[in-house]
Structure 1
Amino acid sequence: MYTQSLEVREMKRYFEHKTFEEVSGDPARLLETYISNNINRLKGCLVRLNILFDWKAFENYEIAMNEINKVVNAYFEDHVPAISLIPQSPAKGSLILELEIADKPELLRFGCLEGVHYVYYSDITANYLYVGGVSADDLEANAAIQSKQVFSTLQNILDWEGFEWSDVIRQWNYIERITGLEEGRQRYQAFNDIRAKYYDTANWDDGYPAATGIGMDKGGVLVDLIAVKKLLNIENKMIYPIPNPLQVDAHHYSQNVLLGRLDKELEIKKTPKFERAKALYTESSHEVFISGTAAILGENTVSSDQADEQTLTTVKNIEALISIENIKKKGVPALFTPALQSIRIYIKNKEDYESISRVVKYKYPYLLQTYVIADVCREELLVEIEGIARLLM
């Protein structure tokens, strides 16, 4: 399809997952030991670094963030990746690392704007932007105020690098006390209202991003994203929104499932603007980004209050979502059902870890799995699973 002289621009990325289940201690020191032992192969190659940690292992949250950032900045210097410090306690241990590593570091450009680190690269089909760890200055402000600042910062980064909101293909939205109320207004709903305001400025011909909206122990509102912009000379379709045949698209939810008081400046509550999955087919990426998925059929939560049963329903939803029959309906160029590469499992109640992990490990025994404790976007939901799969051509 492409000439030999241009194929050198293709860049492969691979994922690593490091847990410290059997190791106790300060997460910052565990991180420092790991990075110091691996810095020669990581520096300049690391695109994205997610640090999921138990902030209660520190004296306070501010100290936790300062200590972890100090380690990262000291070792990576001017090659800091798109880094996200996510205060979600691992189901076991106090620290989990998720790494995305590139095989052609010469193609990467590391940037920082308004204190936010990001990574940019391009191949012969598209430009790519990874942004991590965008949060507000005042973590005690209400969710709406924090969300406005977060999206304003993201807007500035996208503008600076020549991207638009409609180029965002994957977004992670972490919200402390996600289902909590502030003067009757649900925090997740406040976030959705602000997100819609920014998204409404874009043309979403290729669908909204795949996304996760999930709780975290601390930190207010935190957003990570990946954006992909097709080059002007490329005519082939590269980005595909994937609906789930078992679920209503979240952006088509009725007002019945949107909770909390209506913002007085709006006529209706805004729906969560995301697709159930997003397929990407470029020179460097043949992937399906699977949004946070839970035990929802249609637009309603299943009636079971058993964690293992909700997990089974969630797995069935994912299987229906990425089945070859479903993705081919949207024209995705694949021959077989995409192969799952890694999943992250959010567990509301730590005591449900064994029953949930038993189901997941039975279904996916050889898959990279990250288990963290976090509130889900509906009070009655006990588990949520997201992932990434590879298109099989």
Structure 2
Amino acid sequence: MGIQIEYLPLTALDCQPPSWQDKVLGAVSFGESADDLKGRHLHGHIPEIYLNAPVLAGSQFASEALLDDALNTEISQPLISDKHGQIRYRLGEHLLFGVISLDESPELTSPGGANTTPALQQVTEIAYQQIFALLDVLGYTHVYRFWNYMADINGNGADTQAGLERYRQFNIGRKNVFLQVGRAQGHQLPAACALGLRSGPLSIAFLAGKTPSVAIENPRQVKAYHYPEQYGPLTPSFSRATLAQLGQQLCLFISGTASIVGHETLHAGDIVGQTNETLVNLEAVVSEANRIQGGPVFDLSNACFRVYVRHAGDLDRIRETLRNHFNRQVKAVFVQADICREALLIEIEATVQQTTIVHSA
């Protein structure tokens, strides 16, 4: 049991040998246009979420593939691919990866009619209800990570109630389902991100398993699910990171992290200040995970970062700030996307792995 994460160029996924693709649970990939998909032959039974977002730099890391490391053993069973509702998923003995994309159909809202709930809130509820129904039926009840992407995340669409920002609509839909299924407690909340793209459906990818995980919080920040009401009627449903023991591997799934201290955005309009503050928060999450583990298990030196950049013109200063912080060029893909607060200019996520050796008695 375990997970192996590999980062590749978008076009390299389908060039891998069948023995490699047979181990792939799924992938999260970025590209700017339909041209990026030309010639793609990734096996249809592998769930992939493809996101229409410009890759500004680090295209060699544009696709994140998650492989079931248990398949390295001779007695392991092949992965199973299937569908549930609008979810495409693939599972092994201990891990499951799934994707779902739902359009915000105009039929979901009827101005002046009985249903005035924003379409984004509705499709969010539909998606998360399907996800948790699937996980409960199959027994993969511990979610380690969610990736959420939607169009115009900071916008106020025509179907909003009292001008409610679309990210807050999403939070209401997500929280409603977490409450319905009894997963709203802090220790149950997985790592997550929520980003805005230029266009496209609500797209969600998720990784789940059969082994309990530990929710990690950042001592420098208010827990997201305890945010004051100024950030929306219902609070975001995620932890700052998830710590999971997957076989002999310890994995730290770090949520999208930004320039927030307490619950307030810092360094408005200052991309260097926000990048540095984000790095301090990433280090704080890693330190908290190490404190819980009782030793220096994790560090960011072996991480591959996904850096979401609001303004493409900030790219050079962000890269220089990262290079100065780590005293080297980092492994990172830089993707143009909108962040969940309009004042935030950058968000960074990562997965950090540490292999532990299990000694027999």
| Partner in structure 1 of residue 324 of structure 2 | 362
TM-score (normalised: structure 2): 0.83
Residue 328 of structure 1: CA displacement?
Answer: 4.7
Residue 94 of structure 1: CA displacement?
Answer: 8.0
Q: Distance in 2 between matches of 1:250 and 1:383?
A: 18
| Partner in structure 2 of residue 86 of structure 1 | 51
| Partner in structure 2 of residue 346 of structure 1 | 308
Alignment partner of 1:169 out of 144, 161, 172: 144
TM-score (normalised: structure 1): 0.77
Q: Distance in 1 between matches of 2:186 and 2:168?
A: 24
Q: Distance in 2 between matches of 1:305 and 1:158?
A: 41
AA in 1 matched with 2:299: P
AA in 2 matched with 1:181: N
The alpha-carbon distance between structure 1 residues 247 and 143, as it changes in their structure 2 partners (threshold 3 A), is same
Answer yes or no: is the 8 Å Cα contact 2:91–2:97 preserved in 1: yes
Is 1:71–2:40 an aligned residue pair?
Answer: yes
Q: Distance in 2 between matches of 1:36 and 1:147?
A: 30
| Partner in structure 1 of residue 177 of structure 2 | 198
Alignment partner of 2:40: what SS?
helix
Residue 155 of structure 1: CA displacement?
Answer: 3.0
Alignment partner of 2:96 out of 129, 139, 162: 129
Residue 222 of structure 1: CA displacement?
Answer: 1.1
Give the 5 Å matches for 1:52-63: 52-55=30-33
| Partner in structure 2 of residue 111 of structure 1 | 82
Task: Show CA shifts across 1:63-84 (max 9, x none).
Answer: x8xx66x934xx514xx22311
Alignment partner of 2:55: what SS?
coil
Alignment partner of 1:251 out of 225, 229, 245: 225
Is 1:220–2:201 an aligned residue pair?
Answer: yes
The alpha-carbon distance between structure 1 residues 205 and 244, as it changes in their structure 2 partners (threshold 3 A), is closer
Q: Distance in 2 between matches of 1:202 and 1:254?
A: 22
| Partner in structure 1 of residue 134 of structure 2 | 157
Alignment partner of 2:95: what SS?
strand
**Structural RMSD (CA):** 2.6
| Partner in structure 2 of residue 98 of structure 1 | 64
The alpha-carbon distance between structure 1 residues 103 and 151, as it changes in their structure 2 partners (threshold 3 A), is closer
| Partner in structure 2 of residue 180 of structure 1 | 155
Answer yes or no: is the 8 Å Cα contact 1:54–1:94 preserved in 2: no
The alpha-carbon distance between structure 1 residues 178 and 54, as it changes in their structure 2 partners (threshold 3 A), is same
Answer yes or no: is the 8 Å Cα contact 2:265–2:344 preserved in 1: yes
Residue 228 of structure 1: CA displacement?
Answer: 2.1
Alignment partner of 2:299: what SS?
strand
AA in 1 matched with 2:322: V
Gaps spanning 5+ residues in structure 1: where?
1-9, 20-30, 59-63, 231-237, 259-268
AA in 2 matched with 1:154: I
Q: Distance in 1 between matches of 2:344 and 2:253?
A: 22
Q: Distance in 1 between matches of 2:297 and 2:321?
A: 24
Residue 12 of structure 1: CA displacement?
Answer: 4.9
The alpha-carbon distance between structure 1 residues 368 and 110, as it changes in their structure 2 partners (threshold 3 A), is farther
| Partner in structure 2 of residue 332 of structure 1 | 293
| Partner in structure 2 of residue 7 of structure 1 | none
Residue 362 of structure 1: CA displacement?
Answer: 3.1
The alpha-carbon distance between structure 1 residues 193 and 12, as it changes in their structure 2 partners (threshold 3 A), is closer
AA in 2 matched with 1:376: I
